[in-house]
Chain A
Amino acid sequence: MIKNRNILRAAAVVAATGLLAAACGSDDDAAEEEAPAEDDAPADDEAAFDLEGATVTVGVENAYLPFNYVPVGGTEGEGWDYDAWREICNIINCEAEFVVAGWPDVIDQVAQGELDTAADGISITDERKEIVAYSQAYMTVDQKFIVALDDERFTTADDIISGDALVGTQVGTTNFELAVELLGGDSRVSAFDQFGLAVQALINGDVDAVIIDDAAGQGYVGENADAVKLVDDPLQADPLGFIFPLDSEIIPAVDYAIDQMRDGGFLDELGEKYFTDAFTVTYDDIEG
């Protein structure tokens, strides 16, 4: 009977929709349980910190001076993160493979186990700790403002905060969260997809200031020295760490490597190279 057939069809559709909804409504996929290639011995001694040449995929943005960027004419990325991870792999015997990823999507990618780790001047926060694990803090940065070079209005951070200055920053950063907190809401905050766009907006006059970690701020100031300057008034200190999937087994090895780099002076060397006037790659040289 035609009536029954239509009822059957309708029931089938409802059932299918229900199934579809149930499937879509289930929790996030559990992180892949693939044992990392660098499956190491449980012992606590130095031999355990040998990853036996295993490949570690490191997510980088390649759009964050001076931590990771691709210079014009080159195909390989450069920056603090690249040097640091190559040294880490020297110490614990691994092969760093850098993979370009977007921000803040890279955090989710690491959480899902798509990448072994990521390096992008990532602040250690409790919210992020819920979905990714961190190495020890390898550096602490201060958040600061950068403003236009010829801007007379702002000498302290407070000049920017009080008043109606527009502040630019990047989506999904602790900088953004701090800006929203300091300015009492997000009406004066513009969050761009990359810091480069925020700095561009600053140079164009679309925003009055950019809130950024001072290490990166130094990078953009050094390379746009004729257009922007740093307001040397720290807002908040953030520790930085590398992120890993929650079930990662290489964190102790990485922490050991960081200790070695700190004690051996390598971290200081990197600081000299990237966070001072010695850093000479200009912003215009950055490709992509």
Chain B
Amino acid sequence: MTSTTHDTVAPATSSVTRVRGFEWWLVIMLGVIAWMAFQVVSNEAYSEAWENIIPGLRLTLYLTIGSFLVAMPLGLVIGLGRLSRNRVINTIAQLYIEFIRGLPMIVWIFLVAFVFTRDLADMLGIKTRDISMTLRGGAALSMFYAAFIAEVFRAGIQSVDKGTIEAGRAVGLGRFQVFRFVTFPQALRNALPALGNDFIALMKDTSLVSILAVGEITYQARIYLGSSFRIRESYFILAVIYVTLTLVLSLLLQWWEKRLAIPGRRE
């Protein structure tokens, strides 16, 4: 499911929707979204489904943003570990990446929530109860995506023009300064499209956290249809919400990428 978007670092198959010029599919999609908005306002069944599902949106967004903010530095560290010449560090980093990327997200969520949390609680001497399901789900998302982000950063760093690094050393910058002022900014710019992909993929994977009874929108929809049997309305609204989020995030990311691009340089 999500693995297809993570096989490459470059956005060959992209979660981010690229809008070039006038796109008919976009018009139709906007039409569908508009129709859904109309249904929510005018149709009682849709309206009720919407009211029951939308309260979960806050958690969906918290999980998306929160998990990604943690995944980024974690991914950077692991990515650097992959580039390290230290055998031990390199092995650990690679092990982490390969293991996580070998698992389906849902299996990882179960592992984190029902196995590792227990171990952690025992180690820290606290009750598993005190680690909320939301926290567990968010942690699972962060750790999972850190593995992909690590590869993105690794590729981004490796693709920085060595000449600029040499220039930095030549001007007298220390190794860490070169990284901070020369390598990293360029690596970040290189990595932006793929990071955007991962951000959107993470947003969609928050739906899997519903399995832990965490109240984001997918959970809310399942609860609602469990007692109302409004199957069609619930799933349609859920789908349109996710598609809208993806669209909005894609457009925002594209705009941001354009802002950061160096004029005249091919992307």
Confirm or deny: B170 has a beta carbon within 8 angstroms of a beta carbon on chain A: no
Count of chain A residues near B, Cβ 8 A: 35
Q: 1/0 per position for B185-229, CB-CB distance to A under 8 A? A: 000000000000000000000000001110000010011011111
Q: Could you say which residues of chain A place their CB within 8 Å of the CB of B133? A: 190, 206
The docked-state distance in angstroms from the alpha carbon of A99 to that of B106 is: 24
Q: Establish whether residues B128 and A176, one from each chain, have CB atoms under 8 Å apart when the complex forms.
A: no
Which one, B7-15, B31-39, B75-83, B137-145, is touching chain A?
B31-39
Contact flag A176-B229 (CB < 8 Å), given A204-B114, A204-B128, A205-B127: no
Q: Could you say which residues of chain A place their CB within 8 Å of the CB of B32? A: 17, 20-21
Residue in contact with B128 in the complex, picked from A25, A168, A173, A206, CB distance below 8 Å:
A206
Q: 1/0 per position for A31-65, CB-CB distance to B under 8 A? A: 00000000000000000000000000000000000
CB distance from A203 to the nearest CB of B (A): 10
Query: In terms of DSSP, what is the predominant structure of the interface of chain A?
Result: helix
Residue in contact with B223 in the complex, picked from A128, A191, A206, CB distance below 8 Å:
A191
CB distance from A208 to the nearest CB of B (A): 8
Residue of B nearest to A112 (CB): B231
Q: Establish whether residues A17 and B213, one from each chain, have CB atoms under 8 Å apart when the complex forms.
A: no
The docked-state distance in angstroms from the alpha carbon of A28 to that of B118 is: 45
Q: Could you say which residues of chain B place their CB within 8 Å of the CB of A191? A: 213, 219, 222-223, 226
| Chain B CB within 10 Å, residue with most, of A20, A131, A206 | A206
Which residues B23-45 have CB closer than 8 A to chain A? 24, 27-28, 31-32, 35, 39, 43
Query: In terms of DSSP, what is the predominant structure of the interface of chain B?
Result: helix
Residue of B nearest to A12 (CB): B24
Chain B positions within 8 Å of A, measured between CB atoms, are 24, 27-28, 31-32, 35, 39, 43, 114, 117-118, 127-129, 133, 211-213, 219, 222-223, 225-229, 231-232, 236
Chain A positions within 8 Å of B, measured between CB atoms, are 9, 13-14, 16-17, 20-21, 24-25, 28, 104, 107-108, 111, 127-128, 130-131, 166, 168, 171-173, 176-177, 186, 190-193, 197, 200, 204-206
- Interchain residue pairs A-B with the least CB separation, the first 6: A172-B226, A17-B31, A190-B213, A21-B35, A205-B129, A171-B226
Q: A21-B32, A25-B35 given. 5 additional CB < 8 A pairs?
A: A16-B28, A166-B129, A172-B226, A192-B212, A206-B133
29 cross-chain CB contacts under 8 A? A16-B28, A17-B27, A20-B28, A20-B31, A21-B35, A25-B35, A111-B229, A127-B227, A166-B129, A171-B222, A171-B223, A173-B226, A186-B223, A190-B133, A190-B213, A191-B213, A191-B219, A191-B222, A192-B211, A193-B222, A197-B211, A200-B114, A204-B114, A204-B118, A204-B128, A205-B128, A205-B129, A206-B128, A206-B133
